[in-house]
Amino acid sequence: MKGVALLPDTASTFAQQVDLLFWFLTAVTVFFTLLIAALVLYFAYRYRRGSTASRAGAKETDLRLEIGWSMIPLTIGLIVFVWAAKLYADAYGPPPDNALEIFVIGKQWMWHLQHPNGIRENNELHIPAGRPVKLTMISQDVIHSFFVPAFRIKRDVLPGKYNTVWFTPTKPGKYHLFCAEYCGTQHSRMIGWVYVMEPAEYEKWLASGGEARPGALASGAGTMAGVPTASLVQAGEQLYKQLRCNACHGAADGQRGPSHYGLFGKKVKLRDGTVVVADEAYIRESILRPLAKVVDGYEPIMPSYEGLLDEERTLQLVAYIKSLKKPLQTAEVKP
């Protein structure tokens, strides 16, 4: 520990941009505070009672002055507004296509993180530097909030709804992960570490199944080291068969249910005429509450899986359905 850090580490591209805005706001604030304080003191002294300073030519009003003190703050306010809105939209909007996708489940009182290849971690996240990382997050119980100060990102993790956030870590190192939403008695202990690794080191870590964990406690409750875990998609496929989803959802649209091949990202027309995009949230809802959005041309006959699947297994199913690309040979079977 070297003293008290005034600012957290700056370890993502987003952090650099947020800091720039922060310092701009600080500079504007300091400038006007000093300017106004100096003028107050100066005028208070110069025009104090008994002073001989000339008071001749004093005006009731001055239009230029009034326009000036309205327009300058307005302009600065608008600059800050547009700047901050753009930063916000960047961070909470869609990530770049090459983003590494990590699934996050928050529960009282731990973070459960899952890599696409099946590696799971508890309260630890290993990621490579220099590559965008997208987090798809959900809570198993109450509202939590995923907060990594060094990346300047914080996003609520809600029960029943996928929230996403993305960032590009820039600097290898070890960074604090917090829960930033009071979520019960052990909220303050719902903390962890994010390890940003050199890409080559990260590849090694991945290949070892998450065992090579530089900097991590050997006996920590981190990855389930040594346990060969199926990838998210593989686990989802198994579950898909086990639940017999394929009985109604085939390679092509069928009598009972629409096909899942090529579904992800597609626009889907519903019975009531509205059109929705088949994203993670839509797929999740259609598994848990299939009657909420029934696809046009189908009867509301699918049973609900709410209460039967926990968030982890739901994620696996969503990942599998996302992975189903349209089969090439059977182009447009149905009219």
| Interface positions with ligand CUA (CB under 6 A) | 106, 109, 144, 179, 181-183, 187, 190
Q: Which amino acid is at 51?
A: S
Nearer to ligand CUA by Cβ, of 101 and 181: the residue is: 181
Supply the minimum distance, in Å, between the C-beta of residue 65 and ligand CUA. 50
State CA 235 to chain mean position distance. Answer: 24
Nearer to ligand CUA by Cβ, of 136 and 139: the residue is: 139
- The stretches of the chain forming alpha helices (DSSP H) are 13-46, 63-92, 199-207, 232-242, 280-288, 311-323
Supply the minimum distance, in Å, between the C-beta of residue 190 and ligand CUA. 4
Q: Are 180 and 8 in contact (CB under 8 A)?
A: no
Supply the minimum distance, in Å, between the C-beta of residue 158 and ligand CUA. 12
Supply the minimum distance, in Å, between the C-beta of residue 141 and ligand CUA. 9
Helix (H, G, I), strand (E, B) or coil at 207: helix
Nearer to ligand CUA by Cβ, of 148 and 179: the residue is: 179
Nearer to ligand CUA by Cβ, of 157 and 233: the residue is: 157
Supply the minimum distance, in Å, between the C-beta of residue 265 and ligand CUA. 31
Using CA atoms, how far residue 127 sits from 113, 121, 172, 193, 241, in Å, is: 11, 12, 9, 11, 32
Query: Which residue, 12, 4, 1, 18, is CA-closest to 173?
Result: 12
Q: Check the CA dihedral 129-130-131-136 and report its sign.
A: positive
Nearer to ligand CUA by Cβ, of 178 and 240: the residue is: 178
